[in-house]
């Protein structure tokens, strides 16, 4: 890694320190306390809040800073020093206080916390347990002789709300443990990304407003008692303690066990923990190792199927936890290292309707600028008109905007309780906003009736790009010139251009003309996979085009495939196959014209698939052709900047190289990944590979592996 780990992590995860709200006088302090208490009450009562997490953190830090300078003027409603901001209430007493965690927002604050812990225990902490801070709702699950009997929220830390009615709806929280023990399991209930989307679909079907984010969805769903529907949630255990009736031997073992062993015990009882995820709790020996683990988890955050808002760091040894003790609000032996917020509340100012190169009419939300993870966000995706309708969005709405890593920002839902009544309906276009033609609204994604011809320039420029037909000298400006001159009306017309036609254009001399004609001649010889990609079939991209071409080997084979045959291609499911087949059929005249112009329609090295009846009796698709080579059967991810013999290759060319070598290229790292080629600047994908134990290779090592294909 190199360098000071504390400095490295600060740079890795951006501007970590959440600035405190500036409070100038006692009146402003009183308003801030009122706002914080109101926000906490709204969230803990029903899962809604007028503030996002970042805004609340800034307000709370401002309150704490003002109180530090005016210790005699602290108001009783202040959220400082109280569990859940002092807003939560409950009537079921906890056997052991269920506290919140203090937060740190920077490497410097973390260093100060470790120094404080060392002073309290009289030495440097021997071990730390480090794991994800899950973005959900804390609960205590009580088991009597192995059976789940009660589920309680954290409440104010001393007593919580009985939510036992939710038993049976929470995945990962078994109703019966693997052993008949009497214990309390503490943990977090949340909604995964998939569960959140499902919950909103069900909620809207029943006439409700969609939830603003997964955390609010989990909080509201957990408390709901009389809904006409149920939606699943997920539990992650993070604590295990004794109850009256536990038994002396087990109680002593739980009291004396390191935190890491407690979690292993919980998992052995059948409780879902972080151990089953890409970011399991791990034990490290030094603060420097803690910071490295913070960096690793931060890098993996965007790809997780559930939300985290930080990393929890705990003293692992029971003796250290006892020596450190707890305050009235939080334990002194644990802290949450908060990550930058990935969700913020802002206003939807307008909706723009753009037409893509295939004629798709796509809405884009124009936002009141908001900073998320250090970037100012002014636009966010809205997917399609049906999505707008499902989410019940209106112009002027306060909306929850989500952005994680390099993911395109998206609007999750309106924050309905902030509506003023002045919001206006979003008007959908009645004609194509680009050319005025009719719009095909038969599918969720609307499309101009002119299809690709609506945006011919963009479609041709895309086809000529380096990762498609790689036609040097045919940039957007030249394409516009050809279209406006009436020389080109579709992709095939490019290959019918004559020398005298080009020479007659402005700024087209003999050298430019000859170079372009030579580039077009080379483009005719490109493999089928690139031709298919240049056609821009909806639902496919560069990787999928390669898989289709390698599987069917010829354009004739692709055109002859029905939906069942298309599903035999790796990555094409029952939903996508019919649309791909329909798109290929729609492109038939253009494909015929390309073939007549001499464009290659075969994939080098690929052989046609076996007949349909070659499937096994269980219906398992036969193996795709062309699987030989040094990477046969391997799933390969390329990340970072390539060096040496690979330096000149684009990412698409690297993926093509992987597949020519018999492997399958992928953009994401998982437990099924065989090899990650990690170049300079490799970040989250390298970290995930290391976490999962996936084999890593430098660009030089990979080049040696596929040397015969590099020439």
pLDDT in tens, 511-554: 999 999 999 999 999 999 999 999 988 878 888 898 899 899 99
Q: Which of 223-237, 294-308, 621-635 has the lowest mean pLDDT?
A: 621-635
The CATH number fitting domain 343-440, selected from 3.90.245.10, 1.50.10.10, 2.40.50.140, 3.30.70.20: 2.40.50.140
Q: What is the pLDDT of residue 17?
A: 47
Active-site annotation holds for 133: yes
The yes-or-no verdict on residue 495 having pLDDT over 50 is yes
Q: What's residue 49's pLDDT?
A: 63
pLDDT at 66: 79
627-711 belongs to CATH 3.40.50.10190: yes
CA distance 339 to 52: 14
Q: Is 64 helix (H, G, I), strand (E, B) or coil?
A: helix
**Which two tokens mark 61?**
């830090």
Tokens representing residue 665 in the block:
């290229």
pLDDT of residue 626: 44
Q: Write out the two tokens for 19.
A: 């600035």
Mean pLDDT confidence for 161-171: 93
Cα distances (Å, whole numbers) of residue 24 to 70, 78, 481, 704: 12, 16, 61, 64
| CATH number for the segment(s) 451-523 | 1.10.150.20
Residue 573 in contact with residue 567, Cβ under 8 Å?
yes
What is the largest distance, in Å, between two alpha-carbon atoms of the chain?
96
Rounded to whole angstroms, how far apart are CA atoms 644 and 703? 8
- Please list, residue by residue across 265-295, b when 16 or more beta carbons sit within 10 angstroms of its beta carbon and e when fewer do: bbbebbbbbbbebbbebbbbeebebbbbbbb
pLDDT at 87 > cutoff 60: no
Q: Indicate the pLDDT class of residue 331, thresholds 50, 70 and 90.
A: very high
CA distances from 267 to 236, 275, 279, 560 (A): 10, 8, 15, 51
495 touches 463 (CB < 8 A): no
Note the pLDDT tens digit of each residue in 125-164: 779 999 999 989 999 999 999 999 999 999 888 899 999 9
In this prediction, residues 293-299 reach a mean pLDDT of 90
Burial of 381 (0-12, 13-18, 19+ CB in 10 A): middle
- For residue 165, give both structure tokens: 């009615």
- Yes or no: say if 498 and 512 are a contact pair by the CB < 8 Å rule: no
CATH class for domain 11-85? mainly alpha
Enumerate the β-bridge partners of residue 144.
147
CA angle 346, 352, 354 (to 5 degrees): 135
Task: Count CB-CB contacts under 10 A for residue 5.
Answer: 20
**C-alpha span between 683 and 670 (Å, rounded):** 15
- CATH 3.30.950.10 is held by the domain 92-338: no
Range with lowest mean pLDDT among 345-349, 407-411, 533-537: 407-411
pLDDT averaged over every residue in the chain? 86
The length of the chain in residues reads: 711
Q: How confident is the model at residue 12 (pLDDT cuts 50, 70, 90)?
A: very low
- What are the backbone dihedrals phi and psi of residue 295, each rounded to the nearest 5 degrees, phi first? -65, -45
Nearest-CA neighbor of 223 among 96, 319, 89, 320? 89
Q: What is the mean pLDDT of residues 334-356?
A: 91
pLDDT greater than 60 at residue 298: yes
At residue 147, φ and ψ (nearest 5 deg) are -110, 135
619 — pLDDT class (breaks 50, 70, 90): very low
Strand partners, 159: 93
pLDDT band at 510 (very low <50, low <70, confident <90, very high): very high
Residue 476 has pLDDT above 70, yes or no: yes
pLDDT at 328 (0 to 100): 83
Distance CA(482)–CA(497), nearest Å, equals 10
Which range among 440-444, 494-498, 529-533 shows the weakest confidence by mean pLDDT?
440-444
Mean pLDDT of 112-123: 93
From 82, 133, 314, 688, active-site residue: 133
**CB-based contacts of 370: which residues, under 8 Å, 6+ apart?**
344, 345, 346, 376, 377, 401
Query: What is the torsion angle, in degrees rounded to the nearest 10, for the CA atoms of residue 21, residue 25, residue 31 and residue 37?
Result: 60
pLDDT range class, residue 443, cuts 50, 70, 90: confident
Q: How far is CA 336 from CA 308, 310, 449, in A?
A: 11, 6, 53
Query: What pTM did the predictor assign?
Result: 0.63
How many percent of the chain have pLDDT more than 70? 90
pLDDT given at position 210: 83
Residue 322 has pLDDT above 60, yes or no: yes
* pLDDT exceeds 80 at position 444: yes
Q: How confident is the model at residue 107 (pLDDT cuts 50, 70, 90)?
A: confident
Share of the chain above pLDDT 90, in %: 49
Please report the pLDDT score of residue 43 as a whole number: 62
Rounded CA gap, 29 and 23, in Å? 6
Closest of 167, 172, 174 to residue 195, by C-alpha: 172
Taking the alpha carbons at both ends of the chain, their separation in whole angstroms is: 34
Q: What is the DSSP letter of 169?
A: S
279 touches 308 (CB < 8 A): yes
Taking residues 182-204, what's their average pLDDT? 92
Confidence band, pLDDT 50/70/90 cuts, at residue 1? very low
Query: With 90 as the cut, is the pLDDT of residue 353 above it?
Result: yes
Residue 48 has pLDDT above 80, yes or no: no
| Cα 229 from Cα 213, distance rounded (Å) | 19
CA distances from 408 to 229, 638, 709 (A): 32, 21, 35
Contact 85, 99 (CB under 8 A): no
pLDDT in tens, 637-684: 999 889 988 988 888 889 888 888 888 888 888 888 999 999 988 877
* Residue 370 · residue 187 · CB < 8 Å: no
Q: Where are the domains of the chain?
A: 11-85, 92-338, 343-440, 451-523, 627-711
């Amino acid at each position: 890694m190199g360098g000071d780990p504390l400095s490295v992590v600060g740079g890795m995860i951006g501007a970590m320190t959440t600035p405190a709200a500036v409070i100038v006088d006692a009146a402003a302090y009183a308003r801030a306390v009122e706002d914080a208490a109101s926000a906490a009450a709204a969230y803990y009562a029903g899962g809604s809040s007028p503030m996002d997490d970042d805004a609340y953190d800034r307000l709370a830090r401002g309150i704490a800073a003002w109180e530090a300078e005016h210790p005699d003027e602290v108001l009783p409603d202040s959220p400082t020093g109280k569990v859940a901001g002092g807003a939560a209430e409950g009537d079921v007493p906890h056997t052991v206080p269920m506290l919140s965690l203090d937060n740190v927002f920077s490497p410097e604050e973390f260093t100060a916390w470790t120094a404080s812990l060392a002073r309290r225990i009289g030495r440097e902490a021997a071990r730390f347990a480090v794991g994800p801070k899950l973005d959900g709702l804390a609960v205590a699950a009580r088991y009597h002789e192995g059976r789940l009997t009660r589920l309680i929220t954290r409440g104010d830390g001393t007593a919580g709300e009985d939510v036992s009615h939710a038993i049976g709806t929470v995945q990962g929280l078994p109703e019966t443990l693997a052993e008949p023990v009497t214990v309390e399991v503490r943990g977090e209930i949340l909604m995964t990304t998939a569960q959140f989307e499902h919950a909103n679909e069900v909620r809207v079907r029943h006439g409700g407003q969609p939830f603003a984010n997964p955390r609010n969805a989990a909080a509201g769903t957990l408390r709901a008692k009389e809904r006409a529907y149920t939606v699943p949630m997920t539990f992650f255990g993070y604590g295990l303690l004794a109850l009256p009736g536990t038994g002396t031997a087990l109680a002593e073992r739980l009291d004396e066990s390191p935190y890491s062993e407690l979690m292993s015990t919980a998992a052995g009882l059948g409780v879902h923990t972080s151990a089953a995820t890409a970011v399991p709790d791990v034990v490290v020996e030094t603060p420097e190792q803690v910071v490295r683990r913070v960096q690793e988890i931060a890098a993996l955050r965007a790809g997780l199927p559930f939300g985290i808002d930080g990393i929890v760091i705990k003293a692992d040894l029971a003796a250290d936890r006892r020596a450190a003790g707890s305050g009235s609000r939080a334990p002194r032996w644990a802290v949450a290292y908060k990550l930058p917020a990935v969700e913020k509340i802002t206003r939807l100012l307008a909706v723009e309707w753009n037409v893509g190169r295939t004629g798709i009419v796509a809405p884009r939300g124009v936002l009141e600028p908001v900073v998320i993870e250090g970037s100012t966000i002014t636009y966010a995706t809205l997917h399609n008109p049906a999505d707008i309708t499902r989410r019940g969005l209106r112009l002027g709405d306060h909306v929850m905007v989500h952005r994680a890593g390099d993911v395109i920002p998206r609007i999750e839902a309106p924050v309905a309780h902030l509506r003023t009544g002045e919001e206006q309906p979003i008007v959908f276009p009645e004609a194509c906003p680009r050319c005025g033609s009719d719009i095909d609204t038969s599918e969720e994604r609307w499309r101009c009736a002119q299809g690709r011809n609506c945006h011919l320039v963009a479609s041709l420029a895309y086809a000529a790009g380096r990762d498609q037909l790689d036609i040097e000298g045919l940039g957007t400006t030249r394409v516009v010139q050809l279209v406006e001159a009436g020389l080109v009306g579709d992709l095939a017309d490019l290959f019918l251009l004559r020398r005298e036609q080009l020479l007659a254009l402005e700024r087209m001399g003999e050298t430019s003309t000859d170079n372009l004609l030579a580039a077009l001649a080379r483009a005719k010889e490109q493999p089928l996979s690139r031709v298919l990609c240049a056609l821009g079939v909806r639902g496919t991209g560069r990787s999928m085009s390669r898989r289709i071409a390698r599987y069917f080997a010829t354009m004739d084979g692709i055109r002859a495939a029905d939906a069942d045959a298309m599903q035999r291609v790796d990555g094409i499911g029952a939903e996508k196959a019919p649309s791909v087949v329909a798109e290929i059929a729609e492109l038939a005249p253009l494909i015929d014209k390309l073939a007549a112009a001499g464009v290659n329609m075969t994939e080098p090295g690929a052989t046609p698939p076996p007949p349909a009846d070659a499937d096994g009796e269980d219906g398992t698709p036969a193996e795709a052709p062309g699987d030989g080579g040094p990477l046969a059967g391997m799933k390969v991810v390329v990340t970072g900047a390539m060096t040496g013999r690979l330096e000149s290759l684009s990412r698409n060319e690297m993926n093509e190289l992987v597949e020519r070598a018999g492997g399958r290229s992928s953009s994401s790292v998982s437990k099924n990944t065989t090899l990650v080629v990690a170049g300079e600047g490799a970040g989250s994908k390298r970290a995930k590979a290391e976490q999962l134990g996936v084999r890593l290779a430098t660009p030089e090592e990979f080049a040696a592996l596929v040397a015969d294909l590099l020439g």
